[in-house]
């Protein structure tokens, strides 16, 4: 037996999954029907308990190719039914249960995940604990209340690699990736676009980055509250205008902050692979992959005539992309690299290359 207890008192009983013990985090839901392995290994989920809305998880097992980072970073995992059997020619016969155990992740199954989703949708993202122990409901709720939420927390430092490394040593453009919890698929896409890819930790200074003589800097995704990672925003300010910049997700928020904007926390965020985003320049719609709880405030940038909003979320009208009119910097809130999710926005890596090409002249 296991339980998930929310800070507002809701307690659901289920069956234990993964490691035994207790864990806490902010609960979010992800609506993607495929790609649980990528979700599990996405560093942006650090500090969070992820509920999968699709009820059957683990059907195709886990494989070595679809990793989005070196390990599992999320705090907990909630599913309706975890498959006891795996079936796919690429999998290495490891069930989700076994995979979670190996990564020491406490999870729960056999709960009404739709109820959790609706709870989060109406009450907003909130902290919870999952426990396989025998604590009383009251104890668990008290622990959930005491658990820290994401606001004001720097989780970037917990997930980054400490040293810089080369992902691909040759390429037409020399790209430095500013790692805040980078997903491997961003690195794969850059490499595929023909870039030399070097990854530096978020602790790197702007001088350190510029010393590597990059043709462009990619500000990557990462966990937590962008406003809490002040040193990163400083670094972004230090390179702005000196080198072409492409921001993704947290990187987009950092560019927004670096340009003087503000970020705010969404009620329950966007986590899934079916969000329609309109490219305001072309009028075209892309189905995008999203994973963020914070958002750049359009109005906070509204006063700056140099910054234009390039993409809008058609579901809720939030800002999905910005571009600086005079200095080479643009960013998107969604994940063009996908993994998991649709590939509609992958052309943005080409746009980044074009920007570097133009700037190189």
Partner 1 sequence: MPRRDDIHKILIIGSGPIVIGQACEFDYSGAQACKALMAEGYELVLINSNPATIMTDPIMAQRTYIEPIEPKFVEMIIERERPDAILPTLGGQTALNCAMDLSKSGVLEKYGVKMLGASAEAIAKAEDRQLFKDCMIKIGLDVPRSGLARNTAEAEEALKIVSLPAIIRPAFTLGGKGGGVAFNEEEYRKFVQTGLDASPIREILIEEYLAGWKEFELEVMRDRMDNVVIICSIENIDPMGVHTGDSVTLAPAQTLTDREYQEMRNAAIKCIREIGVETGGSNVQFAVNPKNGRMVVIEINPRVSRSSALASKATGFPIAKIAAKLAVGYTLDEIPNDITAKTPACFEPTIDYVAVKIPRFTFEKFKGAEAILGSSMKSVGEVMALGRTFKEALQKGYRSLETGVAGLDDKLTNISDEQLRQGLITAVPDRLFFAKEALKRNMSVEEVASLCQIDKWFIYNVKQLIDMEVKIAAAAQIDAEFMLEIKRYGFGDKQIAKLRKSTEMEVRKQRLALGVKPVYKLVDTCAAEFEAYTPYYYSTYERTDESIASA
Catalytic residues: 249, 335, 337
User: What is the DSSP secondary structure assignment for residue 228, as one 8-state letter?
Assistant: G
Q: How far is the CB of 186 from partner 1 (least distance, A)?
A: 15
Q: Which of 87, 136, 137, 347 binds partner 1 (CB under 8 A)?
A: 87
Residue 274 binds partner 1 (CB under 8 A) = yes
30 to 49, contacts with partner 1 by CB under 8 A?
A: 31-35, 37-38
Q: How far apart are CA 338 and CA 203, in angstroms?
A: 26
Intra-chain end-to-end CA distance of the chain, in Å = 64
Which stretch, 199-207, 221-229, 341-349, 351-359, contacts partner 1 (CB under 8 A)?
341-349
Q: How far apart are CA 294 and CA 333, in angstroms?
A: 10
Q: Which of 5, 12, 180, 319 binds partner 1 (CB under 8 A)?
A: 12
The residue among 56 and 146 lying less far from partner 1, judged by its C-beta, is 56
Please count the residues of this chain forming the interface with partner 1, following the rule CB under 8 A: 55
User: What is the DSSP secondary structure assignment for residue 149, as one 8-state letter?
Assistant: -
282 to 301, contacts with partner 1 by CB under 8 A?
A: 283-285, 287
**Is residue 292 exposed (0-12), middle (13-18) or buried (19+ Cβ within 10 Å)?**
buried
**Helix, strand, coil shares, percent, the chain, to 5:** 25, 35, 40
Number of other residues whose CB lies within 10 A of the CB of residue 31:
16
Which stretch, 92-100, 167-175, 206-214, 332-340, contacts partner 1 (CB under 8 A)?
332-340
Q: How far apart are CA 354 and CA 180, in angstroms?
A: 24
Q: Which of 48, 53, 132, 253 binds partner 1 (CB under 8 A)?
A: 53
Stated as kind and residue range, the H or E segment containing 99 is helix 96-102
The residue among 57 and 217 lying less far from partner 1, judged by its C-beta, is 57
Residue 203 binds partner 1 (CB under 8 A) = no
Angle formed by the axes of helices 250-258 and 230-239, nearest 10°: 70
* DSSP helix/strand/coil, 264: strand
Q: Which of 8, 19, 21, 83 binds partner 1 (CB under 8 A)?
A: 83
Residue 128 binds partner 1 (CB under 8 A) = no
Q: Which residues bind partner 1 (CB under 8 A)?
A: 12, 29, 31-35, 37-38, 53-56, 59-60, 63, 65-66, 80-81, 83-91, 111-115, 117-118, 121, 272-276, 278, 283-285, 287, 314-315, 338-343
């Amino acid at each position: 037996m296991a339980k998930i207890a929310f800070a507002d008192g809701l307690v659901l009983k289920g069956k234990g999954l993964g490691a035994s013990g207790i864990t806490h985090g902010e609960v979010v839901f992800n609506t993607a029907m495929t790609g649980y392995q990528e979700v599990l290994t996405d560093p942006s989920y650090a500090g969070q308990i992820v509920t999968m809305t699709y009820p059957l998880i683990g059907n195709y097992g886990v494989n070595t190719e679809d990793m989005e980072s070196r390990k599992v970073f999320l705090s907990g995992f909630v599913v309706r039914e975890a498959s006891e059997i795996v079936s796919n020619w690429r999998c290495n016969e490891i069930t989700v249960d076994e995979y979670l155990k190996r990564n020491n992740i406490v999870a729960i199954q056999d709960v009404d995940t739709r109820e959790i989703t609706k709870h989060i949708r109406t009450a907003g993202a909130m902290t919870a604990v999952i426990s396989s122990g025998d604590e009383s409901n009251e104890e668990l709720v008290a622990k959930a209340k005491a658990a820290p939420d994401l606001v004001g927390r720097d989780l970037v430092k917990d997930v980054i690699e400490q040293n810089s490394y080369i992902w691909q040593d040759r390429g037409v453009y020399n790209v430095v990736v500013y790692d805040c919890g980078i997903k491997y698929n961003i690195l794969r896409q850059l490499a595929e676009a023909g870039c030399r890819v070097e990854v530096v930790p978020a602790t790197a200074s702007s001088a350190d980055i510029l010393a590597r003589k990059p043709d462009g800097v990619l500000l990557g995704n990462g966990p937590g509250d962008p406003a809490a990672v002040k040193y990163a925003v400083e670094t972004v300010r230090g390179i702005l205008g000196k080198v072409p910049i492409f921001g993704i997700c947290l990187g987009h928020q950092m560019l927004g902050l670096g340009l003087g904007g503000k970020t705010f926390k969404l009620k329950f965020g966007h986590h899934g692979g079916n969000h329609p985003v309109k490219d305001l320049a072309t009028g075209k719609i892309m189905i995008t992959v999203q994973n963020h709880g914070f958002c750049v405030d359009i109005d906070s940038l509204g006063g700056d005539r140099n910054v234009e909003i390039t993409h809008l979320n058609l579901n809720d009208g939030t800002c999905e992309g910005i571009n600086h009119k005079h200095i080479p910097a643009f960013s998107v809130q969604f994940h063009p690299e996908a993994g998991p999710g649709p590939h509609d926005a992958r052309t943005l890596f080409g746009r980044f290359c074009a920007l570097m090409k133009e700037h190189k002249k």
